[in-house]
Chain A
Amino acid sequence: MSILTKILAVLLSLFSLLLAGMVVTFVGNANNYKQSYEEAKNLSVVLQAELATKDEQYNVQVNKCTELKKQLQLELQNTEADKNQMASDLRKAERLALQYQSQADSWKGVMTGFEQSVRNLQASLSQTQEQLDMARSQGVKDQKELNQITADLYEKIVQLQSLDAERRRLLEQKKELESLMATNGSPAKEIVPITPLNRTASPATTAPAGTDVKGLVIEVQQNLITLSVGSADGVKEKMVFHITRGDRFLCDVVVTNVDINRCAGVLDLVQQSPQVGDTASTQL
């Protein structure tokens, strides 16, 4: 064997060993692509199933969203309608508020005018009240004067009646004397007048019975009432006054206390409560 053959045999053996080692190393480190493919395929199937499930869920959610969207649109439309209605109501309420405000302002002006009118009426009422009080006091004075004049008149009448009786008595005495003188010498006898001597004239301050005494109510206290006539007007205790207002009968007053120019009594047969200024008289 030549040397060249030996060298080639050794090199061939070395290269064979090197190549075998490289091939073994490469194949040992190579990936199992079939297994990877199967795993990827299985993963793809699983992912496809999951995708289908997700698609179904997505469709369900889309349907739900569609229905919810429709409902929300309906609610939105209703809400818009309510909003428009409320806006119109608000405008109406604002118009009414303005109207009421204007009415309130006008009523306020009217009330201010009424208040001014009431103040004026109160002032005129107070003036009228003062005039009425003055008229009442003047009426009381006039009534007293009238009562005094009436008493004087009664006194004069009584005096006149007495003078008339005296005159008739004197005329009778005169006739009697004339008849005696005509009989010539018959003894004179005591002349007895037919008309009796009447000297029982009543005092001037006392009103005769049956005369009407009129006065005014000057004070009212529950069941007690005070009148503007007294003993100077002929008022006596237990005398009954009739209280009237115009043509209307109010009550009776039984006199329990008499002063010179006023008297007080209790109410009786009350049909309506008397007031200051009502008329009191003994005869209706």
Chain B
Amino acid sequence: MAKKTIRPDSDVYTAILALACLAVLAAAVFVTLTCINYYGSDALLQIAQVPK
């Protein structure tokens, strides 16, 4: 079976996907830093807990 090289069809869509990933990543980082700034580093582990 001949080796098939995978190539994107267009770099434009690749750039769009990369930009979306960067935006989502930046938003996650911003939310994390804001949460740490407001409530401390332990708050990240207690987000999912049910408040007593």
Contact = CB atoms under 8 A, between A and B. Distances in A.
Interface residues of B, number: 20
Given A12-B20, A20-B26, A27 B13 contact: no
A260 interface: no
A6 B27 contact: no
A23 B20 contact: no
Contacts of A34: 38-40
B27 A28 contact: no
B13 A16 contact: no
B48 interface: no
Interface of B: 8-10, 13, 16-17, 19-21, 23-24, 26-27, 30-31, 34-35, 38-40
Nearest to B34: A27
B9 to A, nearest CB: 4
Interface string A1-30: 100001001101110110111011001101
Contacts of B24: 16, 19-20
Given A1-B9, A20-B23, A9 B31 contact: no
A209 B23 CA distance: 182
Contacts of A35: 38
B16 A9 contact: yes
A10 B16 contact: yes
A197 to B, nearest CB: 185
Contacts of A10: 13, 16
